């Protein structure tokens, strides 16, 4: 089994094949978004969004992008055909945004309110709020069958399991530190959770809710992204200014690339040859060669760039965040 099989080719679906390739960057401190043309590595558009934009999320059906304005209590809607905002949706505290695998529900990660809001993905009506009684819920990923999710609580060091059908917490495991990004393994057997304070990645058994091993990567391990062939996991080490590469087969670090900056959230180019990484404290985006680890470009953007989205991407649908595809 490979849960990423539908996204393991550079071939785009017919739904998005005509969309221009762009990299959308939310400037958290500036309340703006930048649009980069990846062919020229230049910012071609810059516009205001809401207060404290955290991530830019592709919709489940790949037709829209949503800027998560957490302090602005809104989503800014971007039309990826033209690369411009077209509207605003009032949503309470959208730090992050995900979609169930069937596309029926949106899951708004309300970090300040310590809850996950399950909403109708078409109308945005609230279906149910699931309280998360630990501070800092902010990133998650789904099981292979989509029946449950694992969410990190950054400021409490807990990883929480939530049943998607029942919309209820069903388990937890204490990993300590500052747990951040979450990714399911290609075979669905375990989850990987980046930890900024422990400087590495926990491997979690989701059935027993136990940490089965820990992989040291570098200071400030923060963002995760799966390689196009689903053989490697890229890890941004924000305080180290580096990217580590974990081999899924061995669960070991096979390389660490020193790129400088403060690498945060990660995206992969459709052909799998470049990593695009926001530098949270450097007002820039870095482009890294995935074959050599060489830093190719550094592009200046607004203050506090966070969950950038390279769009469109291969895959049948988006599960949210800044671009997680199946």
Which range marks the domain in which residue 250 is found? 5-311
Cα dist from 274 to 4, 253, 277, 311, whole Å: 18, 19, 10, 13
Q: What is the mean pLDDT of the chain?
A: 97
pLDDT tens profile 239-277? 999 999 999 999 999 999 999 999 999 999 999 999 999
Residues of the chain with pLDDT below 70 are: none
pLDDT at 181: 98
Q: Which residues of 53-64 are buried (b: 16+ CB within 10 A; e: fewer)?
A: bbbbbbbbebeb
Q: How many structural domains are present in the chain?
A: 1
In this prediction the pTM is: 0.97
The CATH number linked to 171 is 2.130.10.10
Any domain includes 306:
yes
Any domain includes 136:
yes
Q: Which residues of 150-180 are buried (b: 16+ CB within 10 A; e: fewer)?
A: bbbbbebbbbbbbebeebebebbbebebbbb
Any domain includes 323:
no
Any domain includes 200:
yes
Any domain includes 120:
yes
Any domain includes 126:
yes
pLDDT tens profile 28-67? 999 999 999 999 999 999 999 999 999 999 999 999 999 9
Any domain includes 185:
yes
Any domain includes 238:
yes
Burial environment of residue 125 by CB neighbours within 10 A (0 to 12, 13 to 18, 19 or more): exposed
């Amino acid at each position: 089994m490979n849960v990423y099989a539908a996204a393991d080719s550079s071939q785009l679906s017919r739904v998005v094949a005509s969309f221009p390739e762009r990299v959308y960057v939310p400037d958290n401190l500036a309340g703006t978004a930048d649009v980069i043309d990846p062919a020229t590595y230049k910012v071609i558009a810059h516009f205001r969004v809401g207060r404290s934009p955290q991530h830019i999320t592709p919709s489940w059906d790949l037709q829209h992008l949503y800027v998560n304005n957490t302090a602005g209590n809104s989503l800014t809607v971007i039309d990826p055909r033209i690369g411009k905002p077209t509207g605003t949706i009032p949503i309470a505290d959208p730090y992050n945004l995900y979609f169930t695998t069937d596309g029926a529900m949106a899951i708004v990660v309300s970090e300040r309110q310590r809850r996950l809001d399950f909403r109708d993905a078409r109308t945005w009506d609230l279906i149910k709020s699931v309280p998360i009684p630990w501070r800092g819920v902010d990133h998650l990923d789904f099981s292979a069958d989509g029946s449950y999710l694992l969410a990190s609580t950054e400021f409490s060091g807990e990883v929480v399991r939530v049943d998607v059908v029942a919309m209820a917490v069903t388990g937890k495991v204490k990993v300590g530190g500052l747990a951040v990004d979450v990714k399911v393994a290609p075979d669905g057997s375990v989850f990987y959770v980046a930890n900024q304070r422990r400087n590495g990645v926990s491997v979690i058994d989701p059935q027993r809710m136990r940490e089965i091993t820990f992989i040291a990567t570098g200071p400030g391990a923060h963002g995760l992204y799966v390689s196009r062939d689903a053989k490697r996991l890229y890890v941004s080490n924000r305080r180290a200014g580096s990217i580590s590469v974990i081999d899924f087969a061995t669960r070991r670090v096979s390389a660490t690339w020193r790129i400088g900056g403060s690498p945060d959230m990660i995206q992969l180019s459709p052909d799998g040859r470049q990593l695009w990484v926001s530098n949270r404290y450097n007002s820039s985006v870095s482009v890294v060669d995935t074959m050599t680890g060489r830093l190719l470009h550094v592009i200046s953007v607004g203050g506090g760039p966070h969950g950038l989205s390279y769009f469109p991407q291969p895959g049948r649908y988006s599960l949210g965040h800044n671009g997680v595809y199946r």
